[in-house]
């Protein structure tokens, strides 16, 4: 099975670092972004320079329809199932519920991987 990852918020900061690390580890990567299209495309270029496949996909994770469409778009872009996903709730000024304030950097990452990559 080919190693394919989806990293949310991968255009900047921690998401960027995680997407690049997965590329170095041999994963093809979907670089998700909401508003950071330019930085996401830069991450894609860096991963492709490593010899891996990468695509930038935009979606507002607070929009249910956008979230429902993200995985099928990722599977189509990479040509097969996602074997690893790294997601993090919004950490700017609000959480994904838009109701409870969150302090930057306090929300935990969630990793989901399929064998043999877990």
pLDDT tens-digit readout, 80-99:
999 998 887 655 433 333 33
pLDDT at 1: 79
pLDDT at 94: 37
- Cβ-contact 27, 51 below 8 angstroms: no
pLDDT at 111: 55
Which tens digit of pLDDT belongs to each residue from 32-74? 999 999 999 999 999 999 999 999 999 998 899 998 999 999 9
Q: In angstroms, how far is CA 41 from the centroid of its own chain?
A: 12
Comparing C-alpha atoms, which of 68, 75, 61, 62 is closest to residue 6? 75
The pTM of this model reads 0.78
SS3 30: strand
Provide the 8-state DSSP code for 101.
Answer: B
| 61's tokens | 């994770």
Strand ranges, E, within the chain = 4-7, 28-33, 54-58, 84-87, 110-113
pLDDT at 105: 43
Q: How confident is the model at residue 113 (pLDDT cuts 50, 70, 90)?
A: low
Q: Looking at domain 4-113, which of 1.10.10.10, 3.30.470.20, 3.40.50.1820, 3.40.50.720 is its CATH number?
A: 3.40.50.720
């Amino acid at each position: 099975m080919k190693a394919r990852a989806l990293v949310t918020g991968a255009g900047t900061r921690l998401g960027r670092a995680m997407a690049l690390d997965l590329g170095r580890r041999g994963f093809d990567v979907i670089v998700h972004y909401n508003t950071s299209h330019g930085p996401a495309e830069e991450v894609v270029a860096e991963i492709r320079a490593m010899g891996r496949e990468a695509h930038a996909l935009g979606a507002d994770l607070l929009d249910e329809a956008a979230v429902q469409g993200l995985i099928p778009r990722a599977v189509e872009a990479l040509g097969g199932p996602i074997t690893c996903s790294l997601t993090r709730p919004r950490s700017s000024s609000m959480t994904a519920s838009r109701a409870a304030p969150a302090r930057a950097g306090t929300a935990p990452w969630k990793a989901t991987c399929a064998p043999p990559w877990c």
